[in-house]
């Protein structure tokens, strides 16, 4: 439970509305032990914090995209650091309920890549 002080800071961010969706929560707690999150699911006094913990622990901690590096390659996306950005963004979209099927993951991957290419091209 050495993560408890870090988690308390995250809980405060939830109360302050700095964390507004399950994807934000996932990103914030990914390095915190599952024991700390499970403990907080039961022990935290704030309903919203307990809800985020519960949803993460029971639903989101094992979510993984169907799309992987081989699929990104097949889609014509050049290998490189962009892969981790694409996969991370798809994962967060899945957790937030914005992407539900493998086909939607593939479309999202291409959109993310094209958006990034446009930003780099500027």
First to last CA, the chain: 46
Angle at 41 between CA 40 and CA 44, to 5 degrees: 50
**Nearest to 66, CA basis, from 95, 87, 82, 96:** 87
Which of these three, 17, 40, 60, is where a domain ends?
60
Low-confidence residues of the chain: pLDDT under 70: 122
pLDDT at position 118 is: 86
Same domain, 53 and 74: no
Report how many domains make up the chain: 2
Q: How much is the pLDDT for 122?
A: 54
Please give the pLDDT value at position 119.
Answer: 86
At residue 27, the pLDDT reads: 96
Q: Are residues 56 and 74 in the same domain?
A: no
For residue 100, what are the domain limits?
69-121
Q: Any idea what the Cα angle at residue 23 is, between residues 11 and 64, rounded to 5°?
A: 125
Residue-level pLDDT at 20: 95
If asked whether residues 88 and 42 sit together in one domain, one would say: no
Q: How far, in whole angstroms, is CA 82 from its chain's centroid?
A: 16
Same domain, 79 and 112: yes
Same domain for 56 and 84, yes or no, is no
């Amino acid at each position: 439970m050495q993560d408890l002080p870090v988690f308390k800071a995250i809980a405060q961010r939830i109360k302050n509305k700095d964390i507004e969706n399950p994807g934000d929560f996932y990103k914030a707690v990914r390095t915190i032990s599952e024991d700390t999150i499970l403990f907080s699911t039961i022990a935290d006094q704030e309903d919203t914090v307990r809800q985020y913990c519960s949803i993460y622990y029971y639903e989101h901690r094992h979510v993984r995209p169907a799309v992987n590096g081989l699929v990104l390659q097949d889609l014509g996306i050049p290998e490189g650091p962009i892969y981790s950005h694409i996969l991370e963004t798809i994962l967060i979209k899945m957790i937030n309920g914005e992407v539900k099927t493998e086909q939607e993951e593939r479309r999202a991957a291409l959109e993310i890549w094209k958006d990034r290419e446009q930003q780099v091209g500027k």
